[in-house]
Amino acid sequence: MNRAADATEPGLTEFLLEVERIRASGALGRSVQLARLFDFLVACHAAGRVPKEVEVAIDCFDRHPGAESSQDATVRVTAHKLRRRLEEFYRDAGESPRLTIPRGEYRLVLNPAATSGEAAGPLDGGRPRFTFREKVVAAVALLAVAVAIVAVLWGGQQRQADRPLAALRASPLWAPVLDDGLPLQLVLGDYYIFGERDLHGGIRRLVREFDINSRRDLERRIGTDPEAADLYVDMNLGYLPTSSAQALREVLPVVMASGKPVILTLASELDPATLKGTHVIYLGYLSGLGMLEDMVLSASRYSLGGSYDELIDSVTGEARISEAGMPPLPGVRYRDYAYVAALKGPGGHAHLVIAGMRDVGLMHAAEAAVDAAHLQELGRRLDGEGPFEALYEVHGLNGLNVQGELLEASRIQSAPPG
């Protein structure tokens, strides 16, 4: 019987953290088959599912149901290779916990770390194996991916019937990032938060400020404001908007169907050097772009206002203000904005931005980005070829995006080569 794992289970958190460690290490190499099986087994673990060999063949490797699926050696061979890669990784890494694939089964198991004081203590240098922020942020991000992949696996046949993936791959939005051999890097917009002390020195609340986006920013604030030193404290915490999971659910079928290697990164941890070796697909709020903000908005007709809930059109002079930042009244519609762009960054590589000012904007942006009919219409509205951006007005109701309208679609200039 399937049992979906609870996001709050310590076992799932440790499992997902170890999954991220394997991915980040490069232990899987460049094999698309290994990456697909690994991601499939991660999703099955999150859903409490232990698949049979024929189910792996059909759901993971897109084999057709029937006698041929049970005779195909792809599953057994790939599972054997993945098991060997994991064994090789831990032979070099040496430490527990360890991810293993039991022989004769198609599931990932986390063998827990030793409980002795030495094994449970910090690594050399006094740093714990994972900081609390790493546990929170990595678990949330990876769980969102696992949930989205589960949705792909269980609803895959229906989604492929409803969504013409070939048309999406040929669209002006997706073609630039899918038509070559570069890996895809999904970047999720995240936010740094810190603690505020009460009069007794205890943590009274967690605070998010637009101009403090990292520990370094907080240290600068404390350095220029002596009172802040007694008031604010770094908690090693961050968070993701809840709409990130919905956006991933829409985008992942297109990304996974490409067969390309996929890397998951938080915007706060993005390495600028990877912009020259991957196609970035940003999912998040416009306010969460982080280091991508200059690249995205330097060539755009739009600029962000001081509150990040305001978008100013340099062509018309009009200011678009999101109403989604205030708590919505039940049954009352409110306005938000969605932004979709295909652009070229330093080095000439194509990147995508699928963003909203708030949740309903982000959800609509993701839906628009995978709507083949809409993308065809968008292509007709744009003159010529090349990078472009599109802005949508979105109406929200009770946390849902109920209606969206394309306001503007225009070509943009590429970033200067770098």
Question: In the prediction, which pLDDT does 11 show?
Answer: 64
The alpha carbons of the chain give a radius of gyration, in whole angstroms, of 23
pLDDT at 123 over 60: no
- Mean pLDDT for 186-212 is 87
pLDDT at 27 over 90: no
pLDDT tens digits, 293-321: 999 998 899 999 877 899 999 999 999 99
Question: In the prediction, which pLDDT does 112 show?
Answer: 74
Looking at per-residue pLDDT, the higher value among 384 and 317 belongs to 317
Helix axes 372-381, 359-369, angle to 10 degrees: 90
Residue 32: HSE in the Cβ half-sphere, 13 Å Cα cutoff = 13
pLDDT at 120 over 60: no
Chain centroid to CA 257: 16
Question: In the prediction, which pLDDT does 95 show?
Answer: 66
Closest to 18 measured CA to CA, from 97, 114, 79, 108? 97
Pull the structure tokens for residue 80.
């054997």
Question: In the prediction, which pLDDT does 71 show?
Answer: 63
Question: In the prediction, which pLDDT does 286 show?
Answer: 95
Residue 369: HSE in the Cβ half-sphere, 13 Å Cα cutoff = 35
Q: Which residues pair with 238 in a beta bridge?
A: 192
Report the alpha-carbon distance of residue 16 to residue 42 in Å, rounded.
8
pLDDT tens digits, 328-365: 778 899 999 999 999 998 888 999 999 999 999 999 99
Looking at per-residue pLDDT, the higher value among 418 and 403 belongs to 403
pLDDT at 161 over 90: no
Report the alpha-carbon distance of residue 395 to residue 401 in Å, rounded.
6
Report the alpha-carbon distance of residue 75 to residue 263 in Å, rounded.
23
Considering 1-10, 120-129, 201-210, 278-287, the range whose residues carry the highest mean pLDDT is 278-287
Report the alpha-carbon distance of residue 27 to residue 22 in Å, rounded.
6
pLDDT at 116 over 50: no
Burial of 395 (0-12, 13-18, 19+ CB in 10 A): middle
Report the alpha-carbon distance of residue 354 to residue 271 in Å, rounded.
19
Looking at per-residue pLDDT, the higher value among 294 and 153 belongs to 294
Q: What is the mean pLDDT of the chain?
A: 81
Give pTM, 2 decimals.
Answer: 0.66
Question: In the prediction, which pLDDT does 8 show?
Answer: 37
- Mean pLDDT for 122-135 is 47
Cα separation of the two ends of the chain = 53
Looking at per-residue pLDDT, the higher value among 16 and 75 belongs to 75
Helix H or strand E segment including 149: helix 132-162
Query: Three-state SS string across 159-200, please?
Result: HHHHCCHHHHHCCCCCHHHHCCCCCEEEEECCEEEEEEECCC
Question: In the prediction, which pLDDT does 69 show?
Answer: 53
| Residue 148: partners with Cβ closer than 8 Å, 6 or more residues away | 245, 248, 249, 252
pLDDT at 6 over 60: no
Polymer length of the chain: 418
Report the alpha-carbon distance of residue 290 to residue 64 in Å, rounded.
43
Question: In the prediction, which pLDDT does 124 show?
Answer: 44
pLDDT at 387 over 90: yes
Report the alpha-carbon distance of residue 409 to residue 379 in Å, rounded.
9
- Mean pLDDT for 195-202 is 86
* All structural domains of the chain with their residue ranges: 10-133, 165-189+242-411, 191-239
**Lowest model confidence (mean pLDDT) among 82-96, 139-153, 207-221:** 139-153
Give the rounded percent of residues in the chain with a pLDDT score beyond 70. Answer: 81
